Amino acid sequence: MDPEDKADILLVDDQPANLLALEAVLEGLGQNLVKVNSGTEALRYLLDHDVALILMDIKMPGMDGYEAASLIQDRERSRHTPIIFLTGYERTDAQMFKGYSVGAVDFLTKPFVPEVLRSKVAVFVDLFRKREEVKRQAEVLREMERREHERQLQEATQRFEAENLRREMQLAREIQQKLFPAPVDVPGVDIGGACYPADATGGDYFDYIPLTDNSLGLVIGDVSGHGIGAALVMAATRAYLHALAMSYADLEQILTLTNRALVADVGQSHFVTLLLASLNPRTRSLVYTSAGHSPGYVLSAAGEVKEVLRSTATPLGIMDGQFPASPAIGLAPGDLVFLFTDGLVESWAPDGTQFEGERALTVVRANHHRTAQEIVVALFEAVRTFADQQPQLDDITAIVIKVNAAA
């Protein structure tokens, strides 16, 4: 039997020989026999232990069995512990009444019959075990109820917080979507663009901004990371660009001042890769400056790459610097300008293959006959099909500009 499964039986007698005799009779029960020589020792043991039964001699020096039993019954922990009195004298009604009054459940006269003693003790040990099992089950039930209550409370709290967060994120998404531009009507060109955030809000950005020289500013950017923090930096970047575009037409000056503001306001918590271009529909030309952004492409009507719009400077928000603009790039009828963020080309298939730029150019070429906006949608659908509709890991944004063949 596991020692932890044994019940304590407290043997109280001032005579060592009597204790040995009790031990010899009861050891076959396989329980833990605790022997003490006085009522005082018994009380001391009961301070920290629960016992199945107390076998106590009545006649003991100092504190007799009746006194010890009375004190045992007075203590909350041991109040219901059964006591069998052992006496070497003939029992009288007065003795039995006194014993029962202090909590005795039985009297045995020495010399006792071993089989009788063992059977009585076995009954009380069995009752003790059942009582302890009921207590354990009650504790388990209370613990289960407590945990279930905590679980329900936690679930309710999580549902409440999740619903609040969902509403807040939905509102943030609606606000951010309103920051993206409406379609523009530019003579001689067809322009389409879209942003598909990975989260409810994202750090990608595209825009069409009228410039003071009557050209159209085209912006595509990507704030590091995604989510609320990136969306806030994106909104700040948009505000700087719109404000500066009201006073300046020079791309280098606009981007240099935007960068200076981001360095001062955002610090290095986020950086922004951004391509700012100026489209002049009268001269059919494009000028751009790129702050660490993914290369854009100019494709001919036949789908050949005419120009690669590579980065000309470091990303915004890192340090003060200059953002030189490119020479003017002429656009012929049928040419197509393709700008995008890295979320498009860095999408992954389940087998670990990356979408990459060449696959994106293949999609553009295959849809060259369609409108600019349709090409943007086709790109996104191709990426999601390539990724087998797995969760989107990054924001995806693209702008397509088609020069009309009749221009």
Model confidence over 27-38: pLDDT tens digits? 999 999 999 999
Same domain, 279 and 335: yes
Share of the chain above pLDDT 70, in %: 92
Domain boundary among 136, 166, 197: 136
- Between CA 249 and CA 261 the distance in angstroms is 18
Task: Kindly state whether residue 154 falls inside one of the protein's structural domains.
Answer: no
Q: What is the Cα–Cα distance from 33 to 9, expressed in whole angstroms?
A: 5
Range 138-147, long-range pairs (CB < 8 A, 24+ positions): none
Distances (CA, A) of 64 to 45, 60, 61, 98, 99: 17, 5, 6, 12, 11
- Name the β-bridge partners of 72: none
Q: Is the pLDDT of residue 275 over 70?
A: yes
Q: What is the pTM of this model?
A: 0.60
As separate numbers, helices (DSSP H) first and strands (DSSP E) second, the chain gives: 10, 15
Q: Which of 236, 256, 221, 238 is nearest to 342 (CA)?
A: 221
| Residues 100 and 247 placed together within one structural domain of the fold | no
* Structural domain harbouring 46: 3-136
Residue 105 lies in a domain: yes
pLDDT at 329: 97
| Mean model confidence pLDDT for the chain | 88
Question: Do 220 and 358 share a domain, yes or no?
Answer: yes
For residue 371, the domain's CATH number is: 3.60.40.10
C-alpha torsion sign, points 205, 208, 209, 212: positive
Q: Is residue 76 part of a domain?
A: yes
- Of 228, 225, 261, nearest to 242 by C-alpha is 261
Q: Which of 109, 136, 163 is the last residue of a domain?
A: 136
pLDDT tens track for 137-167: 888 888 888 888 888 888 888 888 777 766 7
Least confident interval from 30-39, 165-174, 253-262: 165-174
3-class secondary-structure state, position 219: strand
Kindly state whether residue 279 falls inside one of the protein's structural domains: yes
Confirm if 189 and 404 have CB atoms less than 8 A apart: yes
According to DSSP, the β-strands at 396-403 and 216-223 are unpaired
Q: What integer pLDDT is reported at residue 22 of this predicted model?
A: 92
Mean pLDDT of 187-195: 94
Residue 89: pLDDT above 70?
A: no
Q: How confident is the model at residue 389 (pLDDT cuts 50, 70, 90)?
A: confident
Structure tokens at 308: 């690669």
CATH number at residue 48: 3.40.50.2300
Looking at the fold, whether 63 and 194 belong to one and the same domain comes out as: no
pLDDT at 228 over 90: no
The last residue of one of the domains, among 78, 106, 136, is 136
Look at residue 133 in the predicted model and tell me its pLDDT: 86
Instruction: Looking at the structure, tell me whether residues 109 and 210 fall in a common domain.
Output: no
Same domain, 118 and 258: no
Residue 76 per-residue DSSP state: T
Query: By mean pLDDT, which of 63-67, 175-179, 212-216 is the weakest?
Result: 175-179
Q: Is pLDDT above 50 for 98? A: yes
Whole-number pLDDT of residue 376: 96
Range of lowest pLDDT (33-47, 217-231, 332-346, 367-381): 217-231
Do the Cβ atoms of 179 and 238 come closer than 8 Å? yes
pLDDT greater at residue 210 or residue 232? 210
Number of domains in the chain: 2
CA-CA distances (angstroms) from residue 99 to 12, 18, 87, 117, 406? 15, 20, 11, 18, 119
Q: Where residue 290 falls among pLDDT bands split at 50, 70, 90?
A: very high
Lowest mean pLDDT among 61-65, 86-90, 139-143: 86-90
Residue 395 predicted with pLDDT over 50: yes
Residue 153 lies in a domain: no
* From 85-94, 234-243, 316-325, 354-363, the region with the lowest mean pLDDT: 85-94
Lowest mean pLDDT among 14-23, 34-43, 150-159, 313-322: 150-159
343 and 398 in a single domain? The answer is yes
> How are beta strands 285-291 and 396-403 bridged, if at all?
unpaired
Are residues 119 and 198 located together in one domain of the fold? Answer: no
Ranked by mean pLDDT, which of 70-84, 86-100, 372-386 comes out on top?
372-386
Encoded tokens for 34: 């605790």
pLDDT of residue 407: 44
Q: For residues 68-96, give the mean pLDDT.
A: 84
Q: How many CB atoms lie within 10 A of CB 64?
A: 16
Residue 37 belongs to some domain of the structure: yes
Q: For the ranges 224-238, 285-299, 330-344, which has the lowest average pLDDT? A: 224-238
